[in-house]
Amino acid sequence: MAGSSTAAVWAAHHAGCYGPHSRARRHHQLRPLPLPARRGGASLASRPPPRASSSLATAVAAPAVARTASEEAVYEVVLRQAALIEEGAGRRTTRTATAPRRPTRPRWAEEDGAARDGELIGWGLLGDAYDRCGEVCAEYAKTFYLGTQLMTPERRKAVWAIYVWCRRTDELVDGPNASYITPTALDRWEKRLEDLFEGRPYDMYDAALSDTVQKFPVDIQPFKDMIEGMRLDLWKSRYMTFDELYLYCYYVAGTVALMTVPVMGLSPDSKASTEWVYNSALALGIANQLTNILRDVGEDARRGRIYLPLDELAQAGLTEEDIFRGKVTDKWRKFMKGQIQRARLFFDEAEKGVAHLDSASRWPVLASLSLYRQILDAIEANDYNNFTKRAYVGKAKKLLSLPVAYARAVVAS
Ligand SMILES: CC(C)=CCC/C(C)=C/CC/C(C)=C/CC/C(C)=C/[C@@H]1[C@@H](COP(=O)(O)OP(=O)(O)O)[C@]1(C)CC/C=C(\C)CC/C=C(\C)CCC=C(C)C
Ligand SMILES: [Mn+2]
């Protein structure tokens, strides 16, 4: 379980090996990307279980700093994404729209009879598409929406479009039609993703994203990896170790960081390596998902799912039955304290990266980081009853977080 020596290992691992000022520039050594592992290939998710690790999960027992199999695989993706940014647009760019715009003929527009040819821009439809994305974000994710209100208008629209695609992807396996979703349906969703990246959006939400990925140097890989995470959700409802869970968290949430950093932009003044900043961003995705998981233990259990490392549960003297029974005991409190501590370490790691983002993006990112982190405080305030009580951050606390985040963002400048 995570402890103070875990923090030391974590810090040594991420700051020492790939610290902010590491000039290692390892991207030229990239091995072929282990992800995606789609049709025909063995996916990371279906690999044999990783070797015994010395990661955050097991650091106390084995305080070496080697990366686990999942961390290694995910780090490869991070390196590749960082390299793409550097190759495509020059280092630490806040580039917008350097890629040539391809003509866009959206099928939804044809179906509506609203447009037959040409680009969406000029038809005034793209503005509507982004507005609709903003409405969805406002309705489903008040916390993120608040964060986007602090962004520049171009970035805000791009993040809305990314948000909507992520939400729709998640809805495929979590929404009302989830029981009808098959691997083939996810394959079709992936084909549709490829089409929109090629400038052939299917509907207006896709059209907004299609425009976004032409304006910002956003790569398709994290989107494909998120779909891989949804494939996992179709068959996997138990995680034996933290290493397994970490990979899942990368797929469904770490990917969001890799999608959004090219929109947020990196600071031209930062001396940190691009891959280090990406790694901090990844930590935010992981932290958010671990927080989601800890908040939703009861809800997930009612769907037969346990997103907790079963080996750590056993070490704490707890069983799956204890989760389904949902009784808050001292054993549960102790277990939860460790899980919360680990999530906080990921938030701390992420926070270090914020100063290296473009200055206009620091406030929104810090604000949303702080709002999400406070969910962990709320679980504590509920005396660790995440079986029947939903942890949430009240309006007053949310509003107070904004000036606090602003002050921290200014200090980070
Ligand atoms: C250097 C540095 C710190 C950079 C910051 C990088 C950055 C901006 C990272 C963003 C990280 C982030 C917001 C991750 C989202 C994680 C998340 C909430 C994932 C959810 C997965 C599945 O959860 P589950 O099914 O268990 O939960 P639900 O009950 O269904 O909620 C997701 C649902 C996957 C889909 C993700 C989303 C819908 C959220 C996407 C969010 C954005 C694009 C907004 C980002 C905006 C801001 C202001 C950070
Ligand atoms: Mn979900």
For 58-73, what is each residue's pLDDT tens digit?
332 334 567 899 999 9
Q: Are 345 and 5 in contact (CB under 8 A)?
A: no
Characterise 30 by phi-psi region: left (phi > 0), alpha (psi -120 to 50), beta (else): beta
Pocket test for ligand 1, best of 260, 288, 347 (most atoms within 8 A of CB): 260
- pLDDT reported for residue 217: 94
pTM above 0.80, yes or no: yes
Work out the burial of residue 188: count CB atoms within 10 Å of its CB; fewer than 13 is exposed, 13-18 middle, 19 or more buried.
exposed
ipTM exceeding the 0.90 mark:
yes
**Is residue 255 scored above 70 in pLDDT?**
yes
Considering 4-18, 137-151, 275-289, 399-413, the range whose residues carry the highest mean pLDDT is 275-289
Say how far residue 215 (Cα) sits from the centre of its chain: 21
- Report the nearest atom of ligand 1 relative to the CA of 280: 1
- Distances in whole angstroms, Cα of residue 401 to Cα of each of 221, 264, 345, 367, 412: 33, 20, 20, 6, 16
Q: Mean pLDDT in the chain?
A: 81
Q: Are 5 and 63 in contact (CB under 8 A)?
A: yes
Pocket test for ligand 1, best of 160, 256, 293 (most atoms within 8 A of CB): 256
* Ligand 1 neighbourhood includes 281 CB (under 6 angstroms): yes
- pLDDT reported for residue 65: 61
- Distances in whole angstroms, Cα of residue 128 to Cα of each of 120, 122, 205, 208, 217: 10, 12, 10, 9, 23
For 274-333, what is each residue's pLDDT tens digit?
999 999 999 999 999 999 999 999 999 999 999 999 999 999 999 999 999 999 999 999
Reading the block at residue 132, the tokens are 């609709």
Ligand number nearest to the C-alpha of 229: 1
CA of 12 to the centre of ligand 1 (A): 27
Q: Whose CA is nearest to atom 46 of ligand 1?
A: 144
Characterise 265 by phi-psi region: left (phi > 0), alpha (psi -120 to 50), beta (else): left
CA of 330 to the centre of ligand 2 (A): 29
- Report the nearest atom of ligand 1 relative to the CA of 369: 49
- pLDDT reported for residue 66: 79
Q: What is the CATH number of domain 4-95+217-411?
A: 1.10.600.10
